[in-house]
Amino acid sequence: MKKKTIYVLAGILTLVILVFALSQSTETDAQSAEEIRTASAQKRVFGSSMLAVGTLKPELGAMVQIDTPGAGVVEEVLVEQGAAVKAGDTLAVITIDGAQQRIKKAELALQMAKLQLEQVTSGPREEEVARARINLEQAENKLKEAEETLSVLKDDEETPSGQLDNAQREVDNADAQYRLAQQQYSLTKNKYTQNDIAQAEARVEQAANDLQEARALAEQGTITAPIDGVVAELHIYPGAVVSGNSNLIKLIDLNRLIVEALIDETDIIAIEKGQQAAITLDSLDTETLEGTVGSISPLAKNESGIINYPVIISLEHVAAGFYPDMTAVVTIYLEEPQETLTVPSQAISQSGSKQMVYVLQDDEIYETEVQTGKRSDGYVEIVSGLKAGEKVVINTADENRP
């Protein structure tokens, strides 16, 4: 009985030892498998670069503020906020205060000036002088008759006052007609000098200019788009009363956006006009856009003691959904970027003076020497020692790894 018990205990102990050994082996294998991570050696656009944060802005002339040409009343608004417009499209119509009255006054002044010029340049004709003389004689006779009638009525004490008033008005009217006939006869009879003609021509020219200005003022009430763009702001509505220089409409051409990147004073010396750049937006999941450094401002911006210089980057094209003031992440290439073979920097290890990588091939890992070049954004250029597509281990425990 004791021997049987001993045998059972020994069997159980052996089983426990075997299970423990198997579990330790399994955990070691799993841990080893979990620790090995790889990355493929692949070509990418690579070059020495600088990372900066910028903001989308309209380029010069791509944002226009339209103000009222003068005080008036808004008659029509033909667009709404967000609408796309073309240069020359009518946006709104405003009746400028006093514009129509000014046009009518200028038209009458021009008509009178032309008549005066025509009279001066044509000179008197015999039949006109004769007609003017006859008109003068007739006016004189009517005046005499009116005066005689008034005199007779005044001599009669029984003449009603109303009749006297009427007779007096007849005299006044006849006198006015007589004076007008005298002036017309004088103007018709006397010849005009060259100075008179020059003055008349000057009055016509001035009247024509006044009319042109009056019409131009009225036409300014028709508000048109000076550029292609989108209505970004709209501050008017039909019936609104506006004063001079009021803000009406703001237009932005979203196809003419640039990036203003802020570069630290310690880095600005490395930035040059013409350098290539790559731009992405934090707010949009879009492809990387290409750009070029266009200008570097010599005036710094001081924000909380941090000195930055604005750098303008022009875009090759603007994607849909890009709007002013969006935050842009900019990579400026300090040299012309080239496509080259790269691996993550974690894959490089140091062995004495040699640069080494661990290559995973056919489930086996072997060490090989490589020649490296530039480093940027977590990647290292491979000059020689690897081919595109080869898998390298990026998480070995080598303490000499840079």
Give pLDDT, residue 160: 87
| Of 37 and 121, more confident | 37
Q: Which among 79-83, 130-134, 186-190 has the top mean pLDDT?
A: 79-83
**Token code pair at residue 324:** 């002013």
Distances (CA, A) of 316 to 17, 25, 323, 381: 70, 58, 16, 27
Give pLDDT, residue 227: 94
**Token code pair at residue 341:** 């073979």
**CA pair distance 259, 311, nearest whole angstrom:** 8
Beta partners for residue 296, in sequence order? 311
The alpha carbon of 101 is separated from its chain's Cα centroid by a whole number of angstroms, namely: 36
pTM of the full predicted structure?
0.54
* Digit-coded pLDDT (tens) for 203-234: 999 999 999 988 888 888 889 999 999 999 99
77: pLDDT strictly greater than 50: yes
Q: Quick one: three-class SS letters along the chain?
A: CHHHHHHHHHHHHHHHHHHHHHHHHHHHHHHHHHHCCEEECEEEEECCEEEEEEEEEECCCCEEEEECCCCEEEEEECCCCCCEECCCCEEEEEEECCHHHHHHHHHHHHHHHHHHHHHHHHCCCHHHHHHHHHHHHHHHHHHHHHHHHHHHHHHCCCCCHHHHHHHHHHHHHHHHHHHHHHHHHHHHHCCCCHHHHHHHHHHHHHHHHHHHHHHHHHHCCEEECCCCEEEEEECCCCCCEECCCCEEEEEECCCCEEEEEEEECCCHHHCCCCCEEEEEECCCCCCCEEEEEEEECCCCEEECCEEEEEEEEEECCCCCCCCCCCEEEEEEECCCCEEEEEEEHHHCEEECCEEEEEEEECCEEEEEEEEEEEEECCEEEEEECCCCCCEEECCCCCCCCC
Distances (CA, A) of 240 to 77, 91, 94, 132, 247: 10, 15, 9, 56, 13
Please provide the average confidence, as pLDDT, over all residues in the chain: 83
Residues forming CATH 2.40.30.170 domain(s) in the chain: 49-60+253-338
Q: Which long-range contacts (CB under 8 A, 24 or more apart) does 382-385 make?
A: 382/41, 382/340, 382/341, 382/342, 382/343, 385/357
* Digit-coded pLDDT (tens) for 29-63: 434 445 688 899 988 877 678 889 999 999 999 99
* Digit-coded pLDDT (tens) for 177-187: 999 999 888 87
**CA pair distance 54, 311, nearest whole angstrom:** 9
Cβ-in-10-Å burial (0-12, 13-18, 19+) of 69 comes to buried
CATH topology of domain 49-60+253-338: Elongation Factor Tu (Ef-tu); domain 3 (2.40.30)
CB of 47 closer than 8 Å to CB of 334: yes
As a whole number, mean pLDDT of residues 83-100 equals: 90
246: pLDDT strictly greater than 50: yes
63-91+223-252 sits in which CATH class? mainly beta
Sole residue written with tokens 């045998």 = 7
Residues forming CATH 2.40.50.100 domain(s) in the chain: 63-91+223-252
